[in-house]
């Protein structure tokens, strides 16, 4: 209690003396004002916080010490010209890089040559089949007799797992052209085999008729018909 009473008694004296304490300028502030050319006020004129605020910050010396690096307009134009040249060079290099990248992704002349192939069917006998190669795939081409054409055209659609008419699968009825890859697991079927005298896959027992349609076995789809067209009566262009 005695300590509290003593502190309470000394507090008014300390507050009264604090009003007469004059803040002094530090050496850093004096150097800053001297470097900026401003007049340093006397310590006797600084009597409180408002006067200290008027002195400002030492950061004000930045504006007085700053040097403009580019004063001449011709130097500025030269700088812009050099920067524009460098940017143009970068843009040209990027353009060439994109062109080379796109050209490398396009097909070469050898690949384009293999994409289209001509096949002459004039030497193929009725009832015979031949296997040719196109884009690395076996192609089955069979010349069918009139009896075979009529038999395949008469198959009801409800008997087929993947319904397609014979007319949809052959541009000319006498020639049936299919890709020789079983759609089940990619095996190559055997010609003139199976229960329907067409093709038979020995891997898992899929049977195809003379139109290349799946008739029995695990294959889900018919043998695929490649893209082709007749450029002459018995000359086809595949691709």
Mind listing the pLDDT tens digit for each residue in 53-96?
445 555 555 555 565 555 666 677 777 778 888 888 899 999 99
Side-by-side strand order, sheet with 175-179: 129-134, 137-143, 175-179
Determine the pLDDT at residue 94. 92
Determine the pLDDT at residue 40. 47
Determine the pLDDT at residue 49. 47
Output the pTM of the full model.
0.54
- Of 53, 184, 204, 207, the active-site residue reads 204
Determine the pLDDT at residue 142. 93
Determine the pLDDT at residue 33. 45
Given a cut of 50, the residues of the chain with pLDDT beneath it are 14, 16-34, 36, 38, 40-54
Q: Which helix (H) or strand (E) holds 231?
A: strand 228-232
Determine the pLDDT at residue 210. 92
Residue 184 a catalytic site member: no
Query: Do 1 and 7 form a contact (C-beta atoms < 8 A)?
Result: no
Determine the pLDDT at residue 72. 63
Determine the pLDDT at residue 20. 43
Contacts 24+ apart (CB under 8 A), 51-59: 52/23, 55/25, 55/29, 58/28, 58/29, 58/32
Determine the pLDDT at residue 116. 78
């Amino acid at each position: 209690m005695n300590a509290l009473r003593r502190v309470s008694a000394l507090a008014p004296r300390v507050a009264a003396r604090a009003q007469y304490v004059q803040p002094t300028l530090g050496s850093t502030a004096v150097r800053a004002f001297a470097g900026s050319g401003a007049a340093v006020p006397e310590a006797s004129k600084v009597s409180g916080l408002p006067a200290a605020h008027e002195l400002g910050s030492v950061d004000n010396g930045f504006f007085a010490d700053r040097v403009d690096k580019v004063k001449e307009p011709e130097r500025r134009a030269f700088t812009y010209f050099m920067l524009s040249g460098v940017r143009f060079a970068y843009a040209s290099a990027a353009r060439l890089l994109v062109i080379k990248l796109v050209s490398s992704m396009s097909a070469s002349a050898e690949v384009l040559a293999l994409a289209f192939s001509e096949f002459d069917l004039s030497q193929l006998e009725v009832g015979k089949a031949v296997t040719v190669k196109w884009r690395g795939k076996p192609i089955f081409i069979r010349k069918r007799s009139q009896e075979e054409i009529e038999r395949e055209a008469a198959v009801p659609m409800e008997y087929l797992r993947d319904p397609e008419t014979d007319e949809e699968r052959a541009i000319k009825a006498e020639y049936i052209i299919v890709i020789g890859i079983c759609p089940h697991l990619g095996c190559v079927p055997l010609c003139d085999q199976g229960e329907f005298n067409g093709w038979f896959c020995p891997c898992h027992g899929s049977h195809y008729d003379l139109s290349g349609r799946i008739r029995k076995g695990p294959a889900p789809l018919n043998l695929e018909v490649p893209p082709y067209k007749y450029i002459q009566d018995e000359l086809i262009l595949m691709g």
